[in-house]
Structure 1
């Protein structure tokens, strides 16, 4: 069985009868108030460097109209607005709790005219074909209930010549980074989640979903099979994170 199918079966609340999509929305609603802090705290701020590197792949494109899928609290959208200066960025997410925090951040940053956040599902994107110059997803594709469908939808709304940039966790293979990473993710991350965000389930789900997610060549092949071209993968920080870039 492929990693793609495995990751679609990984859910935050194993005893729940809700769909993965519904569980993910509930999970992020619950941790929205501490999500940004935990992201930066647990990655020692390296996640900010990763985001900057990912957006660097769009600099030459100079996109005017962008879509940020699984936007969460809008961190990636805000950074994109400041670094790429597009005319407009639309952020979509299935968690209203995350979007609410994101709107407050955008208002505070003075970017309300440039960025709009709305409730939206990656598998049924409510925009016409060929709408966006660029699409970004930061740490969100492994949460899709149906990975292929989500990628196909992003391909549909991307303009010819446009680019998709995906930033996602991956599993390092180099000793001793692999061993430390596994220890940190499996035992320490859930403790931080329990103490700080009051949700051990959310941060136990994180390492399981990363472990099951297709990576490297496998993910590149999935992107190609959903209609993308010129697909590349760049690993960062000893393979802890990967950037996938694809064109329409």
Structure 2
């Protein structure tokens, strides 16, 4: 299990130079696969710079979108981006652990996690099933194993129980083992990096 203070420090140090353009593109990829519905109650888990929360807030989902991250620095970046985009009231920013989500059971329609599940661990998917209503959907992205080379402090923060997928089928199998159903996955290249986006339903 990762150490939350260590995790927060690592991402706080990264916040000022975070690649917003890359993560905004990954968020668009994820939302294109998930296709949020009007009125969906949604959360952006381990929200980082808020790319997913901002993208959700621009759709017809119910607001405020919950955005949670353990890094105060990342949340500050996200909040600033929201204010500059005129979306300050559309997102509920929280600094704290993303697992468990600070929501009641079966209270969400949509839980999304971009570029972070491999730091949270498989327990995150169990918590998403708790937080989602029956028929609610979980969407996440993971890097492709052949390109994944974590370095420095981040190498020690990668969860050992989240298999980094080589293929779309690997991502689908992971979702199925977590008890999610009707999974879809898509491989995409974002700049020089490849990611796999997955969406599945809580039974």
Task: Identify the TM-score tier after normalising by the shorter chain.
Answer: 0.7 to 0.9
Instruction: Write 1 or 2 for the structure with the bigger share of strand.
Output: 2
1:6-155 equivalence runs, <5 A: 19-35=2-18, 38-40=19-21, 45=22, 47-59=23-35, 61-144=37-120, 147-155=121-129
1:243 pairs with one of 194, 197, 201: 197
Are the counterparts in 1 of residues 26 and 114 from structure 2 also a CA contact under 8 Å? no
Structure 2 unaligned blocks of 5 or more: none
Are the counterparts in 2 of residues 64 and 88 from structure 1 also a CA contact under 8 Å? no
- The aligned counterpart of 1:177 is none
- The aligned counterpart of 1:171 is 145
Are the counterparts in 1 of residues 49 and 75 from structure 2 also a CA contact under 8 Å? yes
Larger Rg: 1
Are the counterparts in 2 of residues 91 and 118 from structure 1 also a CA contact under 8 Å? yes
Deviations 1:80-133 (A, max 9, x none): 211344332000111111111211211221112211110232322221111111
Equivalenced residue count is: 197
Deviations 1:151-195 (A, max 9, x none): 1001110112211111221135xxxxxxxx57xx68xxx7xxxxx
Give the stretch that moved more between structures: 129-138 or 118-127.
118-127
Deviations 1:11-30 (A, max 9, x none): xxxxxxxx443322110011
- The aligned counterpart of 1:234 is 186
Structure 1 unaligned blocks of 5 or more: 1-7, 9-18, 173-180, 191-200
Are the counterparts in 2 of residues 59 and 84 from structure 1 also a CA contact under 8 Å? no
CA distance in structure 2 between the aligned counterparts of 1:80 and 1:60, rounded to whole angstroms: 8
- The aligned counterpart of 1:205 is 155
User: Normalised by the size of structure 2, how large is the TM-score?
Assistant: 0.82
CA distance in structure 1 between the aligned counterparts of 2:59 and 2:29, rounded to whole angstroms: 11
User: Normalised by the size of structure 1, how large is the TM-score?
Assistant: 0.69
Deviations 1:37-66 (A, max 9, x none): x353xxxx5x54432221023336334311
Are the counterparts in 1 of residues 185 and 196 from structure 2 also a CA contact under 8 Å? yes
